[in-house]
Amino acid sequence: MSPKRPQQGGPSRGQSLFAAAGMEHDAPRPLPERLRPHKLSDVVGQDHILGPDGALTRMLETRTLGSLIFWGPPGTGKTTVARLLADATELHFEQISAVFSGVADLKKVFDAARARRETGQGTLLFVDEVHRFNRAQQDSFLPVMEDGTVVLVGATTENPSFELNAALLSRSRVLVFHSLDAAAIEKLYSNAEAVEGRKLPLDDEARAVLIRMADGDGRAALTLAEEVWRSARKGEIFNAVQLQDILQRRAPIYDKSADGHYNLISAMHKSVRGSDPDAALYYFARMLDAGEDPLFLARRIVRMAVEDIGLADPQALVIANAAKDAYDFLGSPEGELAIAQAVIYVATAPKSNAAYKAFGAAKRVAKEGGSLLPPKHILNAPTKLMQSEGYGTGYQYDHDAPDAFSGQDYFPEALGRQQFYDPPERGFEREIRKRLEYWAKLRKERGG
């Protein structure tokens, strides 16, 4: 039997549908790859490192490149800069990822770098996600860094102070990469349009939205631009609503166990402390949008009420606790409004950390003073022995004194009278201050 011939017009055996359509080799490389910079001056958004007075620029001018840790969010150019540094210093570029590498892989890399050094060739070893190596693996870099076998460039999205060994950090310089701002993303889009030979099919508002969607990530910005070009029909221009429908928006970068979490809650807390309800609500909404537990936020608002408002407005703690209870009762999304209301209340309440400071001062004195006995006149004397020792002798019952105030000293004799609480002339603490000043006057008059 003779073999069957391929059907007329269909692809032959071993030939793909794409090849039959003449498309096999026409697919271009991804846009982020095509726009990868070829020299350090082409990198956008990191002028504080690569500008005329930048840290890396000065290192290259003095030819004193040492081991480095690049710390910054994804898509800010860490890998690209490391590769270009190797080119600029004529070092062999070697790249590994801590996600996929172990001790055996590191040994091979170090052995190859030693062999390379014998021929006069240095090695720049780029370690992506360096924070994922454990303590022993991080320690293995120390000898090859010290003897010059490799110039280490580690990249991490996590805070090096918390994630890297002190020994590794002491031998490296940390350079911080910033999220790309709107101007840097716009420059990327202009470069992409020049490479593509066409404008992004977006009106001005949609273009601004696309820049915000990139969230400071250059790689994501270019990937989003590719999606826009793929989605647009000939002559079509997208507005902001259409753009979000097409892209289904990109989820905010927010790791509830990493820096994003702590940065945003810190921003919210400081906005409340600074009496800016609008900024506080913005960060509250950011965290909710990213999936933060509303009860975590409610707990932090309770903390703000006692730390930054205190007795300047005692109602702040009541409102904060009520918001937590309302969320427990209603759940999401209805209960989130109660927490938002508490955010506004604490942000607009009079501020005072007097109670917070007083408690801290009292704790310090209590710790330093040791086990000092209270003055005997305020000790109970339930037994004859205790009475004979003077317990309770001379105690004045305040309710029987004029103004219900005896003015006696209640501190241990060895410690002397202390003042921890100093309320400001704000909010309800203005009234508390008047009371304290009145009692101080009576105490002085009565010799207490």
Question: Do 219 and 315 reside in the same domain of the chain?
Answer: no
Residue with the two structure tokens 């099919």: 201
CA atoms of 210 and 233, how far apart (whole Å): 18
Inside any domain, residue 118: yes
Residue 360 lies in a domain: no
CB hemisphere CA count around 322 (13 angstroms): 12
341 vs 325: CA distance, rounded Å: 13
Given the structure tokens 């009541």, which residue do they identify? 318
| Upstream peptide bond of 314 is cis (omega within 30 degrees of 0) | no
The CA-based diameter of the chain, rounded to the nearest angstrom, is 125
Same domain, 133 and 51: yes
CA dist 160 and 157 (Å) reads 9
Please report whether residue 277 resides in a domain: yes
DSSP class of 335 = H
Burial class (CB in 10 A: 0-12, 13-18, 19+), 292: middle
Which stretches of the chain score pLDDT less than 50?
1-24, 251
Residue 21's pLDDT is what? 44
User: Angle at the Cα of 359 (from 353 to 365), degrees rounded to 5?
Assistant: 135
Cα 81-87-89 angle, rounded to 5 deg:
100
Of residues 259, 423, 278, the one with CA closest to residue 350: 423
Q: Using the 3D structure, point to which of 191, 212, 247 is the last residue of a domain.
A: 247
Q: Is residue 152 part of a domain?
A: yes
Asked if residue 316 and residue 278 are part of one domain, the reply reads yes
Q: Which DSSP letter does residue 268 get?
A: H
pLDDT the model gives residue 427: 92
Contacts of 199 (CB under 8 A, 6+ apart): 193
Please tell me whether residues 82 and 165 are part of one structural domain. Answer: yes
Spatial contact of 70 and 153, defined as CB atoms under 8 Å apart: yes
User: Residue 278 belongs to a domain with what CATH number?
Assistant: 1.20.272.10
CA dihedral 341, 342, 344, 347 (to 10 degrees): 180
Q: Based on C-alpha coordinates, what's the Rg of the chain?
A: 33
| Residue 76 and residue 150 in one domain | yes
Element (DSSP H or E) covering residue 63: none
Q: Are residues 191 and 70 part of one domain?
A: no
Domain region containing 221: 182-247
- 84 and 154: one domain? yes
β-pairing, 151-156 vs 68-71, is: parallel
Are 283 and 340 within one domain?
Answer: yes
Residue 352 and residue 320 in contact, taking contact as beta carbons nearer than 8 Å = no
Look at residue 194 and tell me if it is in a domain: yes
Residue 439 within a domain: yes
Instruction: Please report whether residue 389 resides in a domain.
Output: yes
Q: Where are the beta strands (DSSP E) in 147-189?
A: 151-156, 173-176
CA dist 244 and 238 (Å) reads 10
Question: Domain count of the chain?
Answer: 4
Residue among 419, 412, 420 at smallest CA distance from 377: 412
Q: Which of 117, 145, 176 is the last residue of a domain?
A: 176
Instruction: State how far the Cα of 277 lies from the Cα of 297, in Å rounded to an integer.
Output: 15
* For the chain, counts of helices (H) and of strands (E): 22, 5
* Secondary structure class of 387 (helix, strand, coil): helix
Query: What is the pLDDT at residue 257?
Result: 53
Q: Is residue 332 left, alpha or beta, with left meaning phi > 0 and alpha meaning psi from -120 to 50?
A: beta
Last residue of a domain, one of 134, 149, 176: 176
Other Cβ atoms within 10 Å of 85 Cβ, number: 22
Cα–Cα distance for residue pair 84/62, rounded to 1 Å: 17
Amino acid symbol at 29: R
Q: Are residues 339 and 419 in the same domain?
A: no
Q: What is the predicted pLDDT for the residue at 381? A: 83
Answer whether residue 388 is part of any domain: yes
Q: Could you report the per-residue pLDDT of 309-326, keeping only the tens digit for each?
A: 999 999 999 999 999 999
How many other C-beta atoms are found inside a 10 Å radius of the C-beta of residue 385?
9
| Residues 115 and 147 sit within 8 Å (Cβ to Cβ) | no
pLDDT given for residue 253 in this prediction: 55
Contact 169, 142 (CB under 8 A): no
- Distance separating alpha carbons of residues 192 and 188, to the nearest angstrom: 6
Q: How many CA atoms lie within 13 A of 84 on its CB side?
A: 17
Distance of CA 247 to the CA centre of its chain: 26
Q: Are residues 56 and 162 in the same domain?
A: yes
CA 305/CA 351 separation, integer angstroms: 9
| Global pTM exceeds 0.75 | no
- For residues 441 and 393, state if they share a domain: yes
Q: Are strands 151-156 and 173-176 parallel, antiparallel or unpaired?
A: unpaired
- Domain CATH for 186: 1.10.8
**CATH number, domain with residue 151:** 3.40.50.300
- Whether residue 243 is found in the same domain as residue 263: no
**Helix%, strand%, coil% for the chain, nearest 5:** 55, 5, 40
Residue 5: HSE in the Cβ half-sphere, 13 Å Cα cutoff = 3
